[in-house]
Amino acid sequence: MSMVLNQDTAAYQEKGYHLYKKQLFSEEKLARLTQIFEEQLAQKGSKLSDELDTPHFRDERLLEFLLADEVLDLVEPFIGPNIALWSSHFICKDPFVGRATPWHEDSAYWKNRVDGFDQIITVWLALDRSSKENGCMRVIPGTHRNGLSEYEEVDGATNTFNTQIKHVDESQAVYFELEPGECSLHDSRIIHGAAPNKSPYRRCGYTMRYFSTNIKVLQDTDPRGGEFKVWLARGRDLAGNKYANVK
């Protein structure tokens, strides 16, 4: 039985997001994932907690979750049966000091890295409770159909990166409030962001990003240096990509 109804996929096409207000993983499996995150957090040293990017490159235990049927069964109705793992990211906003995430489109940061953005999806899994109070993600519905926006510079000390979309009507924002173990899904082109965490409650999530294999990866080097690896998660390759798990 599909985890997603036909009306859910239709709404996703129109609005650019879907909220999955059920437990994605079993309690025991979620506890294992949370433990891996806590280990990564302890190893980060002086890095800010919102900088734990592509942790599965360092710790392949995370592939148990990234390539799990629970996630792929949820993703497949939205991007089809041929699925590749694009990236993952622990995003943690510490109590009181968690930086804001400026309004942005994920796809704006991937220019020249892939040949299309229309079938890239992010699963944002809550490890802590995510609420307005502690800076949950918010989106502007329908903006995935508008093309790339115009950006301006912002202060990188108080934001997770130093650019933001210039003109955003925040009155249209939908807030993704999630309990631990619940998740949201959003199109890579949708305008989204998050306020800073000024509450006493940590807000950690694990983003798991996937693309339909008809998309061609144009650049397999990591912008920060080294190789950028993608995995064939389900189905078959359609674009001639190189995968870490296919020889």
What does the domain layout of the chain look like in residue ranges?
Answer: 6-234
pTM here is 0.94
In the structure, what pLDDT confidence band is assigned to residue 97 with cuts at 50, 70 and 90?
confident
Average pLDDT estimate for 43-65 = 82
The one-letter code for the residue type at 182 is E
The mean of the pLDDT values for the chain is: 93
Q: Is the pLDDT assigned to residue 114 strictly greater than 80?
A: yes
| pLDDT-derived band at 144, boundaries 50, 70, 90 | very high
DSSP 136-194: -EEE-TTGGGS-PPPEEE--TTTBSSSEEES---GGG-EE--B-TT-EEEEETTS-EEE
- The answer to whether domain 6-234 has CATH 2.60.120.620 is yes
Q: What is the mean pLDDT of residues 160-169?
A: 90
